[in-house]
């Protein structure tokens, strides 16, 4: 059976690219012929959608949603983010500008043969919108690639983020961390202006991460999108054996994961940051070890991709 994976990714290490790379490996292990198409984020993608003629098309994230397939092709919607919610929360102008794209995207989902989501909240959202059952297969990590050779931790924190994102509240954390004289490793685009190292390739992430005890996840304090999703770096922190310190909305999937799995500490308001960060330092060794164990047992990306491939093979 021939399968096309349609997605849009800015780099080979971005979340959609990683998810599709491991899924491709699992599908090929099961005898599928797989082709990947990374659609550029441009107006031309919307105006001139790509025609695909393979037997199965798995599409993940706009603008991949506007690409169309030949009649008779089976469609699989990979729901990594609640894109319609994201567009709606962007304000009136953004909502009006993206309305035609969102309408086509939801139409594609309603016509899909299978739907797969990365969190239960995303699955429930699209079950309500489409009337279809949505299977949950979480994002994951590569525990082998991110296994620390030695466990010698400094009293410090690794923060991976897009520092050029104006909506990301990194400044409050940086102020508290420096007040507490916590060593920081800042990684990601735009981090240089805060004394960081910029982008670090995935295969070199453990060179930075294994030195520290905490992995930080900053999220905006409000927003339905942020309640429904779990950043991919959460699982990478777990694989590195880091205690997770996250902050953001007072409820949601990330808060549930951190607290129910006992992998760190979550702060629900700016006022809590300092006290919660101190608490995180206290629970670090145990929480970090638990996080690493869960990354191996529950969130191994290869195992999750095999589960995904088995589901496709048995259902299509």
CATH code of the domain covering residue 106: 3.40.50.2000
Residue 151 domain-assigned? Answer: no
Q: What is the pLDDT along the chain (316 residues), one digit of tens a residue?
A: 899 998 888 777 777 888 899 999 999 999 999 999 887 766 555 556 667 777 898 988 776 666 677 778 899 999 999 988 988 887 655 666 678 878 888 988 999 999 999 999 999 999 999 999 999 999 999 999 999 987 667 789 999 998 988 778 898 999 999 999 999 999 999 999 999 999 998 888 999 999 999 999 999 999 999 999 999 999 999 999 999 999 999 999 999 999 999 999 999 999 999 999 999 999 988 999 999 999 999 999 999 999 999 999 999 8
Residue 223 and residue 173 share a domain: yes
Q: What is the model's pTM?
A: 0.92
Residue 153 has a pLDDT of 75
Residue 34 and residue 119 share a domain: yes
Residue 249 and residue 225 share a domain: yes
Residue 256 and residue 129 share a domain: no
Residue 294 has a pLDDT of 98
Residue 228 has a pLDDT of 97
Residue 65 has a pLDDT of 62
Residue 91 has a pLDDT of 63
Residue 306 domain-assigned? Answer: yes
Residue 32 to residues 36, 77, 106, 116, 117, Cα–Cα distance (Å): 13, 18, 27, 19, 22
Residue 32 has a pLDDT of 94
CA 311 to chain centre: 21
Domain hosting residue 259, numbered range? 156-297
- CB 205 within 8 Å of CB 191: no
Residue 179 and residue 80 share a domain: no
- Phi/psi of residue 97, nearest 5 degrees: -65, -35
Residue 149 domain-assigned? Answer: no
19 token code pair: 């998810």
Residue 132 and residue 119 share a domain: yes
Residue 181 and residue 118 share a domain: no
Residue 128 and residue 178 share a domain: no
Residue 155 has a pLDDT of 83
Residue 196 and residue 292 share a domain: yes
Domain count, the chain: 2
Residue 16 domain-assigned? Answer: yes
Residue 64 and residue 101 share a domain: yes
Kindly provide the residue ranges of all beta strands, DSSP E only, lying in the chain, ordered along the sequence: 2-7, 33-38, 51-52, 56-60, 68-69, 74-79, 114-117, 135-136, 156-160, 183-187, 214-218, 243-247, 264-267
Residue 94 has a pLDDT of 62
């Amino acid at each position: 059976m021939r399968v096309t994976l349609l997605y849009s990714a800015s780099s080979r290490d971005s979340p959609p690219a990683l998810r599709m790379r491991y899924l491709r490996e699992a599908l090929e292990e099961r005898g599928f012929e797989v082709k990947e198409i990374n659609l550029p984020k441009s107006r031309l993608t919307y105006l001139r959608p790509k025609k695909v003629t393979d037997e199965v098309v798995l599409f993940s994230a706009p603008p991949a949603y506007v690409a169309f397939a030949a009649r008779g092709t089976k469609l699989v919607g990979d729901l990594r983010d609640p894109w319609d919610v994201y567009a709606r929360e962007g304000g009136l102008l953004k909502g009006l500008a993206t309305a035609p794209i969102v309408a086509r995207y939801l139409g594609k989902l309603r016509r899909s043969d299978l739907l797969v989501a990365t969190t239960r909240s995303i699955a429930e959202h699209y079950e309500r919108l489409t009337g279809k059952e949505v299977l949950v297969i979480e994002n994951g990590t590569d525990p082998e690639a991110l296994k620390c050779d030695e466990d010698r931790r400094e009293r410090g924190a690794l923060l991976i983020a897009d520092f050029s994102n104006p909506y990301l509240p990194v400044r409050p954390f940086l102020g508290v961390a420096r007040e507490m004289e916590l060593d920081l490793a800042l990684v990601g685009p735009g981090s240089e202006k805060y004394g960081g190292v910029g982008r670090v390739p995935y295969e070199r992430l453990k060179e930075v991460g294994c030195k520290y005890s905490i992995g930080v996840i900053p999220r905006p304090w409000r927003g339905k999108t942020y309640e429904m999703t779990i950043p991919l770096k959460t699982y990478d922190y777990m694989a590195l054996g880091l205690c997770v310190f996250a902050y953001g909305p007072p409820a949601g999937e990330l808060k549930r994961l951190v607290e129910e799995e006992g992998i760190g500490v979550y702060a629900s308001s700016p006022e809590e940051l300092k006290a919660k960060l101190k608490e995180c330092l206290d629970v670090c060794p145990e929480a970090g070890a638990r996080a690493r164990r869960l990354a191996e047992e529950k969130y191994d990306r290869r195992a999750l991709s095999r589960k995904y491939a088995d589901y496709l093979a048995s259902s299509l």
